[in-house]
Structure 1
């Protein structure tokens, strides 16, 4: 991207995929961008996944683009973007998080644990099924971006264990900057979005009609617009 003084953006990917998933959206966003692979994913698939390691990877990406950035994440990436904002608020100029407005507890967590165990029991098969699912749910260029960095279902149990220890609502309370939450209107991960909104002092919600948890990634122009809106609302660095 051409550097024009815009606030940089760091994109955080979802479970089992990689930073490549954000390529089509990043291409529409002004300024410097970064989309790191998290431990256990993409080029770092041999590493163990932990929340601390993931946040460290995100902070390193922020440092690479200048030390302060708009933070954007979806699904697992949304949970981790919120965690990073709560732990390092001075580095996050604005927060954009989607597909993650559900507390990682109860039936949601139990279902994800079951899915993770199944995926890890036959990771090669699960990788193929995931890639096939992305291709069915998304236009070809978006689906190919989702899987370009590799699909790594073997990491899922570690990710689910780490997510179970997160408290995104507490993290939102610790972050004083602007927050833009987004969800597909048909996304089941919307269950607690009102609680998330109430936790953040400067939060807004954007709903994308007719989109679900994965299919929202097809809305590249809409997502890029949300990033631009968030950047415009960012509080200047002290």
Structure 2
């Protein structure tokens, strides 16, 4: 079960999901993609994730990047029985302090002229990623108007506490150049069954170009799953 990042949609995971065996879902979150008219809250996002998990059998390996990583961790902490294993990347920073302030400012600017911000975001993806990967990122639409709602919701998250509540296997991944890895050691310490994979020379967005590596991480997590009693 793949969870997408802020302002994009489930289509971003298409190139990775194509390399993964099994029943797969990559839903759009509220405020994004096909659900862009719906309000975004943490609760509505977690409910969307749970509904998608139901579609693949009621228990799943949960994979997320950036916003999707934060939400995957939140879902695992709240509903550990539904998450067979957790794979989360680009989200090992606490949504507090200067990080949140900078993100809030960026969100406010983006929402002030969303059509322009959508075009600039799409252009940025095309510059940062190989053609097919970039097109997958934007195929489901880019929706910068939702960013203030998302940032407001993120301010209420406590991913380290959520990790402490999740007893299953955890695989954290980051690009070595990703500023969102600032607190990765604290995240690792919170999850006794966690390990960290760093992808050399990749940043926050660029890591999505590593489709084979990411699919391999998902396969590794799936192989670690203990069947539910």
Determine if the TM-score, normalized by the shorter chain, exceeds 0.5. Answer: yes
Take 2:226 and 2:191, find their aligned partners in 1: how far apart are those partners?
Answer: 15
- C-alpha distance in 2 between matches for 1:99 and 1:225: 17
**C-alpha RMSD over aligned residues:** 0.3
- CA distance in 2 between counterparts of 1:224 and 1:102 reads 23
Once the 2 structures are TM-superposed, how far is the Cα of residue 201 of structure 1 from its aligned partner? Answer: 1.3
CA distance in 2 between counterparts of 1:15 and 1:68 reads 24
1:233 corresponding residue in structure 2:
224
Moved over 6 A (4+): none
2:143 corresponds to 1:163: no
Instruction: Quote the Cα distance in structure 2 between the aligned partners of 1:186 and 1:157.
Output: 25
TM-score normalized with structure 2 length: 1.00
The separation in 2 between residues aligned to 1:115 and 1:127, in whole angstroms, is 13
Is residue 27 of structure 1 aligned with residue 18 of structure 2?
Answer: yes
Question: Partner residue of 1:94?
Answer: 85
Task: Give CA deviations for 1:135-167 in whole Å, capped at 9, x if unaligned.
Answer: 000000000000000000000000000000000
SS across alignment from 2:84 = strand
- Match for residue 187 of structure 1? 178
Partner of 1:6: none
The one of 111, 118, 127 equivalent to 1:136 is 127
Residue 114 of structure 1: how far off its partner (Å):
0.2
**Which residue does 2:114 correspond to in 1?**
123
SS at match of 1:120: helix
In the other structure, the counterpart of 1:177 is 168
Matched, 1:196 2:187: yes
Aligned residues: 229
TM-score of the aligned structures, taking structure 1 as reference length: 0.96
After superposition, the C-alpha distances for 1:42-71 in whole angstroms (9 at most, x for unaligned) are 000000000000000000000000000000
Measure the CA separation in 2 of the matches of 1:236 and 1:82: 20
Q: Which residue of 1 aligns with 2:66?
A: 75
**Which consecutive residues of structure 2, in runs of 5 or more, have no partner in the other structure?**
none
